Amino acid sequence: MLQIKCPVCKIKGDETDFSYGGEAHIYKPGVTNGQPPNMARYLYIRSNPRGVQQENWRCSLGCNKWFTISRHTISQEILATYKLRETPHPNLSGKVKNI
């Protein structure tokens, strides 16, 4: 069971105290040049990496704020936790031991 620390209210808890919101940094596309956006790509295509993934979580039993964590999908290590609209660590993969 993951242990997560909310970067907003600083509360530390089990993953059951939070809710998962899928891959982060996927933004709602708009109309470009009068063409409707590529919805299939936005809705259904995810990177699903073997390695570090940025993902959204909500502090659902705490401050109810969304935030982003960088999780290694194999080791489950959480390398960084940051608020929305903050940028992740530039080279997180460098921090991970090769798995």
Partner 1 sequence: MSVPYRIAERVLPDRIGQRINRKKKIRFTFDRKTVPAFQGDTIASALLANGQRIISRSFKLHRPRGILSYGSNDPGSLISVGTGASRTPNTRATMTPVSNGMVSESQNNWPSLKKDWSRYFDRIKRFLPAGFYYKTFMKPMFLVPVYQRVLRLFAGTGTLLNNRDTASYEHYFLNVDVLVIGGGLSGLVVAEAASTSGAKVCLVDENGFLGGLSDIFDGQIENVTCLDWARKCVTRLAENPNVHLLPDTTATGMYDHGFVIACERCSGHSKNNDSVEERLWKIRALHTVLATGAIEQPLLFPNNDIPGIHLSSTIRAMIVRHAVAPGHRGVIYTTNDDGYKTALLMIDAGIEVIKIVDARLHAEGTLVDLVKANGILITFASTILEVITDKSNIHIQSVVTGALQGTSGITTKIDCDFISVSGSWAPVVHLWCNNGGKLEFDANSVCMRPVGTQNCMSIVGSANNVHRIENLLEESWDGGHAAAQHALGKRIRKPTPSFGISKSTKVTTSDTVGQIVRSKTTQEKDFSVFVDIHNDVTIADLKLACREGYASVEHMKRYTSLGMAPDQGKTSNLNAAVILANIQKCPVGEIGTTTYRPPYTPLRLGTIGGSQPEFKTRVFRQLPSIKWHKDNGAVLDNIGGWSRPLYYARQKIKRSIAITSEINAVRNHAGLFDASSLGKIEIKGPDSAKFLDLVYATKIDALPVGRALYGVLLNESGTLLDDGVISRLKTNLFVIYTTSGNSGLVLDHLERWHQTEWPDLRVFITSVTENYAHFSLSGPRTLEILKSLEGFDSNKLEISNYLDVWEDHFSDIDLRVLRVSYSGAYGVELSIPSNHATELWQALMHAGKELSIKPIGVEAMHTLRTEVGYIAMGIDTDTDTIPADVGLDWAVSDSKPDFIGKYGLVQDAHINAPRKKLVGILTKHENSVPEYGAPIFDRPHIEPGNVIGHVTSAFYSPTISRSISLALVSEKHIFEGAVVHISQSTGTTPANIRLSRFITKEQAGASPFRRDAGGQ
Binding site for partner 1 (CB under 8 A): 1-3, 14, 19, 21, 27-31, 36-37, 39-40, 42-43, 56, 58, 60, 64-66, 74-78, 84-85
Taking the least distance from each CB to partner 1, the nearer of 76 and 93 is 76
Distance, CA of 29 to CA of 27 (rounded, Å): 6
For the CB of residue 90, give the shortest distance to partner 1 in the complex, in Å.
Answer: 22
Distance, CA of 38 to CA of 18 (rounded, Å): 31
- Nearest one of 48, 46, 52, 50 to 90, comparing CA atoms: 52
For the CB of residue 38, give the shortest distance to partner 1 in the complex, in Å.
Answer: 9
Taking the least distance from each CB to partner 1, the nearer of 91 and 98 is 98
The per-residue DSSP string of 38-62 comes to -HHHHHH-----SSEEEEEEE-TTT
Taking the least distance from each CB to partner 1, the nearer of 39 and 90 is 39
For the CB of residue 93, give the shortest distance to partner 1 in the complex, in Å.
Answer: 16
Tokens, residue 38: 């590529």
